[in-house]
Every structure is written in structure tokens, then in C-alpha cells.
Structure 1
Amino acid sequence: MPQFDFLTLGAQVFGLLITLSLFYYFSINTVIPNFVEVEKSLEQKLIKNTTSISAMNLDLTNNKKLINNSYKLFMQ
């Protein structure tokens, strides 16, 4: 079998190193920047949603106060 032959071991290691270095170069230049872009967009969406939720919470608190005051006025 060629994979266990000591005569072809050098060529196999050389091919493996070339393949791994090309994969590493591709990953550094293409894949990782795409992940960073996705992370940045998700972070911006999270910030936007957090501010929306804060505003919504304030509106709900104001509505609760308005309903309580209206109920008190109605009962008088």
C-alpha cells in the first residue's frame, strides 16, 4: 500500500504541508473576515433591539400607570 511505503512518505508529507498551507491562507483571507462581518452585523442588531425593548418597556410602564389612574378616576 502506498500510504505505508517509506519511499513515498516524503512526498505525502510535502503534499500535506502544501495543502494545509493553502487551506490556512484561504481561511485567513476569506472565511474569517466573513465571520467578523456577521458578528458585527449581529452586534448592531442586538444594540438596536435592546434600545427598542427599553423604549417598549417605558411605554408599557406608562400605559400601566395610565390604566391605573383611569381606573381610580372611574371608581370615584
Structure 2
Amino acid sequence: MPQFDLLTIGSQVFGLLVFLYFLYLLNIQIAIPSLIEIQKFRVKKLVKNQEKIVHIKNYLNDNLRFTYNFYQIFLK
């Protein structure tokens, strides 16, 4: 089996190291910055949605209070 031949192990290790080096560079320069951009976009979206949820919750609580007070006045 050629992959276990002692004469070719040096070239196989060298080829593997070259391949892994280029894979490392590819990940550092392209993949990781892309993932960071996606994470920043998602965090912005989550913060924006959280602010909307808080605003809607406050609006609904105010509306409930107003309705309750209106019915209290109506029933008197």
C-alpha cells in the first residue's frame, strides 16, 4: 500500500502540510470574517426586535389600563 511506504511518507506529509496551510489561510481570510458579519447582522436584528417587543408590550399594558378605567367609569 503506497500510503504506508516509508520512502513516500516525507512527500505525503509535506503535501498535507501545504494543503492544511492553504486551508488555514482560506478560513482566516474568507470564512471567519463572513461568519462575523452574519453574527453582527443577527445581533442587530435581535436588538431591534427586542425593542419592538418592549414597545408593543408597553402599548398593550397602557391600552389594557385605559380599557379597565373606561369600564370602571362606565359601570358607575
What range describes the TM-score normalised by the shorter chain of this pair?
over 0.9
Tell me which residue corresponds to 2:74: 74
Cα distance, 1:7 vs. partner? 0.5
Tell me which stretches of 4 or more aligned residues in structure 1 moved more than 3 Å: none
- Partner Cα separation in structure 2 for residue 74 and residue 8 of structure 1: 94
Q: TM-score, normalised by structure 2?
A: 0.96
The alignment-based identity, stated in percent, is 41
Show CA shifts across 1:7-60 (max 9, x none). Answer: 010010000000000000000000000000000000110111111111111101
Tell me which residue corresponds to 1:42: 42
1:3 aligned to 2:10? no
- 2:13 match: secondary structure: helix
Matched residue count: 76
Tell me which residue corresponds to 2:31: 31
Tell me which residue corresponds to 1:60: 60
Q: TM-score, normalised by structure 1?
A: 0.96
Unpaired stretches in structure 1, ≥5 consecutive residues:
none
